[in-house]
Amino acid sequence: MPVDTVVFDVLGTLVDQEGGLREALAGRVPDVADAVARWQRYIAGEHRRVVAGERPYVPADVLDREAAEHVVGERADDLADVTARLDAWPDTAEILERLAATHEVVALSNADHATLLRLDAHAGLRWHAALSTEAVRSYKPDPAVYRLAIERVARPPARILMVAAHAWDLRGAQAAGMRTAFLDRPGADAPTAQDRFDHHVTSAGELLAATA
């Protein structure tokens, strides 16, 4: 069955999230690598709490502000918009441009609407549509997030390909019936031996071939 729509995760998959955090935290903390890891653990933990119903939903920019204070140990308002300032991976523009000529291209991001808008503008990302998990007041891998994408594109799940550098994200998409492609990036959450994704690609060329 052909793929009509390609849905992309954004943070880490098409923009360099770890690199952006390292740059933003340089000179602010004694151990940048440890600070980045703590930031990401904090965000992931709060996402889990929201999905589990242990915490009311708050937009991703609020969590970024909390993570900044958690890592730096003081108010760090200048770090609150770090997600909006992340740079795209070198091959991102080519991937999006070439896929958009033959497929519907959609973003599905944990970033809130305002941050996603500013990130798109900063990193030069181009979509036919951009969806934020803010619309369902939750975070991946909540099943409601993937249902949102399926409903908005109005396609059978088997005709939608989810592309991400996070195996946990692809498991959520796979459970919703979507096809899956793991895009290997530095710092990616790699598949386990038990994962059975449709594609495992390491370059723009391989991803484009998989969607041909």
- pLDDT tens-place string over residues 3-23: 999 999 999 999 999 999 999
pLDDT tier, 76 (very low <50, low <70, confident <90, very high otherwise): confident
- 74 — pLDDT class (breaks 50, 70, 90): confident
Q: What is the pLDDT of residue 53?
A: 97
| Domain residue limits at 172 | 5-16+85-210
Q: What is the pLDDT averaged over residues 80-95? A: 94
Read off the pLDDT band of 77 (50, 70, 90): confident
Q: Could you read off the pLDDT of 193-205 as tens digits, one per residue? A: 999 999 999 988 8
Q: pLDDT (tens digit, 9 = 90+) per residue, 168-180?
A: 999 999 999 999 9
What's the average model confidence in pLDDT over 73-102? Answer: 92
Q: Per the omega criterion (within 30 degrees of 0), is the bond before 186 cis?
A: no
Closest CA to 91 of 212, 207, 211: 207
Total domain count, the chain: 2
Q: What is the pLDDT of residue 86?
A: 97
Let me know whether 113 and 189 are in one domain: yes
Shared domain check, 100 and 141: yes
CA atoms within 13 A on the CB side of 89: 23
One domain for residues 103 and 39: no
What is the model's pLDDT at position 212? 80
Cα gap 77→106, rounded to integer Å = 30
User: Structure tokens of 134?
Assistant: 């803010």
Q: What pLDDT, on the 0 to 100 scale, is given for residue 32? A: 96
> What is the pTM for the complete model shown?
0.95
Per-residue model confidence (pLDDT) at position 54: 98
User: What pLDDT, on a 0 to 100 scale, did the predictor assign at position 61?
Assistant: 93
In the prediction, which pLDDT does 78 show? 85
In the predicted model, what is the mean pLDDT of the chain?
95
Point out the domain boundary residue: 83, 115, 140: 83
Query: 100: domain CATH number?
Result: 3.40.50.1000
Task: Read off the pLDDT of each residue in 131-160 and give the average, rounded to a whole number.
Answer: 98
Q: What is the mean pLDDT of residues 105-113?
A: 97
pLDDT digits (tens, 9 = 90+) for 36-64: 999 999 999 999 999 999 999 999 999 99
CB 20 within 8 A of CB 52: no
Same domain, 45 and 117: no
pLDDT confidence of residue 194: 96
CA distance 43 to 17: 13
Q: Are residues 130 and 203 in the same domain?
A: yes
158 shares a domain with 106 = yes
Answer yes or no: are the C-beta atoms of 119 and 15 closer than 8 Å. yes
